[in-house]
Amino acid sequence: MKVLITGGGGFLGSKLAHALVDSGQLRGEPIDELVLADLDEPASIDAPFTVRGVAVDITKRAQVDTMLADKPDIIYHLAAVVSGQAEAEFDTGMRVNLFGTLHILEAARALRTCPMIIFASSIAVYGGNIPEPIEDWTELNPQTSYGTQKAASELLLNDYSRKGFLDGRGLRLPTISIRPGKPNKAASSFMSSIFREPLQGEQAVCPVPPDFTHWFLSPRRCIANLIHAADIDSAALGPNRCFALPGRTHTIRDMVEAMRRVAGDDPVNLIRWEPDLDLQKIVMGWKGRFNPARALQLGFLADDSFEDNVRYFLEEDVQPK
């Protein structure tokens, strides 16, 4: 079994790569080769099978063709520019998130081997005046360029699957928290930094009020769900291969209290509450309540509580000073 991860040097891509190396198998078959593709060549990982990092720009069709020349059986397509960047740089967002995805679909089609493509979509495909909770049949009405690029990619993934060119699976990821490392250009970045920084002894600013409500999943559970996506029988997916993953609705207040229960008062006291009205204009329109019935029925899972997210961060990702 050959597996390729685009965005393999990113946050979720590198966590997925380590999880696949640890398990050594996918879809019940041993992995022979794992290729990690990103703009900068990702570092290899020690493994009992071949792990290769390759430098690829998915906006360049010829580079994508070369990346797929090995005929991977399963492609995780995670490469993207995130929401804040896609909004600020419209052309970059279109080139990477839409045309880059199309390059991958077209290169996969040209293989004539019907590879599986597991695509990281986003709950940003929902928006506008729609009732909550979001149901599986709720219309897609993104209110950002990023969400629009993800929604357009989902339609293409469905059509390429319908034509038998590939076996697509599109997972609409909740906001993944607690994200390790540095703040990124996603408008949702604060939803990790207000926990990550205090848990590492640093101050952080919360730009929204405590009753801000959103839909979350931990990195650990997200990776387990990405792996589970490969296990599902193609026939079980039916004519729409894209759906929202399970998550949990939390207010910022509830999450801060969960952090207090796991890590005590000290990290909570490091949060400064400073409203950012421009950022609030973007994030207050996001949807926070979902009924992911289809994903649950397909065996995808959410965390039990935000305390899980805090514990996982402390176990896996906290950086010693």
Give the C-alpha separation, 52 to 63, whole Å. 16
Choosing from 59, 141, 143, 249, the residue that interacts with ligand NAD (CB under 6 A) is 59
Give the C-alpha separation, 202 to 183, whole Å. 13
Nearer to ligand NAD, 160 or 215 (CB): 215
The SS3 call for residue 131 is coil
Cβ within 8 Å of residue 262, ≥6 positions away: 307, 310, 311, 314
CB of 9: closest distance to ligand NAD in angstroms? 5
Nearer to ligand NAD, 96 or 229 (CB): 96
146: annotated active-site residue: yes
Please, are residues 253 and 182 in contact by the beta-carbon 8 Å criterion?
no
Answer yes or no whether residue 80 interacts with ligand NAD by CB under 6 A: yes
The stretch among 4-12, 158-166, 229-237, 306-314 that binds ligand NAD (CB under 6 A) is 4-12
The SS3 call for residue 3 is strand
Answer yes or no whether residue 56 interacts with ligand NAD by CB under 6 A: yes
Give the C-alpha separation, 305 to 321, whole Å. 28
Answer yes or no whether residue 81 interacts with ligand NAD by CB under 6 A: yes
Answer yes or no whether residue 142 interacts with ligand NAD by CB under 6 A: no
The SS3 call for residue 288 is coil
Q: Cα separations (Å) of 113 from 108, 165, 235, 277?
A: 8, 8, 17, 50
Among the listed residues 76, 146, 160, 312, the single catalytic one is 146
Choosing from 3, 20, 79, 204, the residue that interacts with ligand NAD (CB under 6 A) is 79
CB of 219: closest distance to ligand NAD in angstroms? 8
Give the C-alpha separation, 81 to 92, whole Å. 8
Task: Give the footprint of ligand NAD on this chain (CB under 6 A).
Answer: 7, 9-13, 38-39, 56-59, 78-82, 96, 100, 120, 122, 173, 175-176
Residues known to be catalytic: 146
